[in-house]
Amino acid sequence: MQIKIITLFLISFLFISCGVQSVSVLPESKRSNNPELNTIINSEIGEELVLKEIGHKYKAIKVTKGRKPKPGYIITEIKEGDIFYHNSNTSKYNLYRNENDNTFGLAIPKAGGNPIVYTNNGNGITFSFNKDIIEYTNTSKPDPEREYIKQELIYNGRVGTALKFIYREYTKDYIKPAFTQELQYDLAESRVIGFRGLRLEVINTTNTNIEYKVLSYFN
């Protein structure tokens, strides 16, 4: 995954406040099943074998290197692991707000260049500038206001002829713990396993690897 480096040019912690008009961005509709049917796949223990997603997702960025507040300045802390999602635009910027706090975010210039940290107190947007470097990766975030579901099957190893799997189901968002169920199948009975409409044919397996193909997806 490519890591982008953001240099935030904040000259002496300059703050610019203005009543900028912004336009909301709608999340993208998401409906996908992976991998393709009847395609032979090789995966390791702990990896996702089958994935189904239905819902709406925002484009987002995840901070991999943040910045800390500095004494003597009122400056917003950007933490490693923070998620900012693209929920609005101005004429010059794409605005990415913090997923847990709608009072601040990152403004990325449409014309290209370095992002700007902004705050929003409800009366207008204030842009701030400094020389700190923030690193981030592109990602996506489910819309917590809309229905969302993610189903996945994970390989969990082999004991004799028994294969172990983990089924996980996320709803709405990742904030709540996933519904998790452990599954076990006996290869001596059949090389085709099934769960909630999913049919998966096991071609070869060890304690660390599994070779398989998906015959049908989750319902």
Q: What is the pLDDT of residues 31-74, one digit of tens each?
A: 999 999 999 999 999 999 999 999 999 999 998 988 777 766 65
User: Which position has the higher pLDDT, 16 or 215?
Assistant: 215
Q: What is the model's pLDDT at position 120?
A: 86
Other Cβ atoms less than 10 A from the Cβ of 68: the count is 9
Indicate if 188 and 168 belong to the same structural domain: yes
Q: Mean pLDDT throughout 121-139?
A: 80
Mind listing the pLDDT tens digit for each residue in 19-33?
A: 567 788 989 898 999
- Other C-beta atoms closer than 10 Å to the C-beta of 202 total 18
pLDDT for 12 equals: 36
Q: Note whether 84 and 133 are same-domain residues.
A: yes
DSSP 54-69: EEEEEEEEEEEE-B--
Domain C-terminal end among 142, 177, 208: 142
Rounded average pLDDT over 208-212 = 96
Average predicted confidence (pLDDT) for the chain:
85
| 18 and 98 belong to one structural domain | yes
- Does residue 142 have a cis peptide bond before it, meaning omega lies within 30 degrees of 0? no
Strand ranges inside 66-208, DSSP E: 83-89, 93-98, 104-109, 116-120, 125-128, 133-142, 149-159, 162-171, 179-186, 192-195, 198-205
**Judgement on whether residues 61 and 51 belong to the same structural domain of the protein:** no
| One domain, residues 11 and 61 | yes
Out of 98, 117, 142, a domain closes at 142
Domain end (from 114, 142, 170) = 142
Contacts 24+ apart (CB under 8 A), 65-71: 65/133, 65/134, 65/135, 66/134, 67/8, 67/130, 67/132, 67/133, 67/134
Query: d(Cα 166, Cα 184) in Å, to the nearest integer?
Result: 9
113 with 61, same domain: the answer is yes
Do 67 and 127 reside in the same domain of the chain?
yes
Q: Do 169 and 205 share a structural domain?
A: yes
Looking at the DSSP bridge assignments, the partners of residue 212 are 41, 202
Q: What is the pTM of this model?
A: 0.66
**Domain interval for residue 154:** 29-56+145-216
**Are 162 and 206 contained in the same domain?**
yes
Can you tell me which residue has the tokens 């107190």?
121
Tell whether the torsion through CA atoms of 84, 86, 88 and 89 is positive or negative: positive
Q: Based on the domain organization, do 44 and 16 belong to the same domain?
A: no
Helix-, strand-, coil-residue percentages of the chain, each rounded to 5? 0, 60, 40
Rounded to the nearest 5 degrees, what angle is found at the Cα of 84, between the Cα atoms of 80 and 85? 155
Question: Which whole number is the average pLDDT over 87-110?
Answer: 90
Above 70 in pLDDT, residue 207?
yes
Is residue 52 domain-shared with residue 74, that is, in the same domain? no
Domain count, the chain: 2
Q: Are residues 107 and 174 in the same domain?
A: no
